[in-house]
Amino acid sequence: MLSLKADPATSSSTSRSTTKQSTDMTLSPPPRAEVFLIENRLNPIPTRATLELTDDNLRCTVKEYSKWVEKALGISDLRSRLQADEAVVAFDFRRDQLKIKWLKQFLNAGFSVSEGGSRRWLVSLVYPTGVMALVEVVDGWDVHSEWRRALPGQRAI
């Protein structure tokens, strides 16, 4: 199975996260997986995160620095918090209040999620662009299906 990891040398010196192949990130079925937060669908800048599904909540914790995530969270010290190994939560939504839409753009391996009037987050179970995405989708189809069953929502848009 393919996996990805952020390159600390480039991700800490720029506002765009840069990734390369590694063995650190593997696709996992619910309740926990390494994922990518995506800035927007037109320019899918990925930021590594961890997604965790419990009986009551869907929680996403940021794992690498990204200027757009720092801005979205309304904080100015994301880099120092991550360097201090502090858990930085992007969102923690009640499972019974989730608004989820699975996205064709990420070959049904990505979705938008929000709760009530909260910010809408884009999450991808695979690296969101290029050949890597296609390979990971094909390689991890069963795992993607498990996440889609665990997080029912509107079908791909």
Strand partners, 100: 113
Strand partners, 110: 103, 124
Higher pLDDT, 7 or 69: 69
Q: What is the pLDDT of residue 136?
A: 59
Please name each of the domains of the chain with its CATH number: 4-150 (2.30.29)
Q: What is the pLDDT of residue 14?
A: 35
pLDDT digits (tens, 9 = 90+) for 75-129: 999 999 999 999 999 999 999 999 999 887 767 788 999 999 999 999 998 887 7
pTM, full prediction? 0.75
pLDDT at 50 over 50: yes
- Please enumerate, as own/partner, the contacts of 74-83 that have beta carbons within 8 Å and a separation of 24 or more: 79/12
Q: What is the pLDDT of residue 75?
A: 97
Give every CB contact of residue 118 below 8 A, 6+ residues apart in sequence. Answer: 91, 93
Instruction: List alpha helices for the chain, DSSP H.
Output: 8-11, 67-73, 78-83, 130-139, 141-150
Can you tell me the distance from the alpha carbon of 11 to that of 83, in angstroms, rounded to the nearest whole number? 12
Q: How many CA atoms lie within 13 A of 156 on its CB side?
A: 12
- For residue 129, count CB atoms less than 10 angstroms from its CB and return exposed for 0-12, middle for 13-18, buried for 19 or more: middle
pLDDT digits (tens, 9 = 90+) for 135-151: 555 565 677 788 888 88
Can you tell me the distance from the alpha carbon of 49 to that of 52, in angstroms, rounded to the nearest whole number? 10
Q: With contact defined as beta carbons under 8 Å apart, do 32 and 53 qualify?
A: yes
Q: With contact defined as beta carbons under 8 Å apart, do 58 and 98 qualify?
A: yes
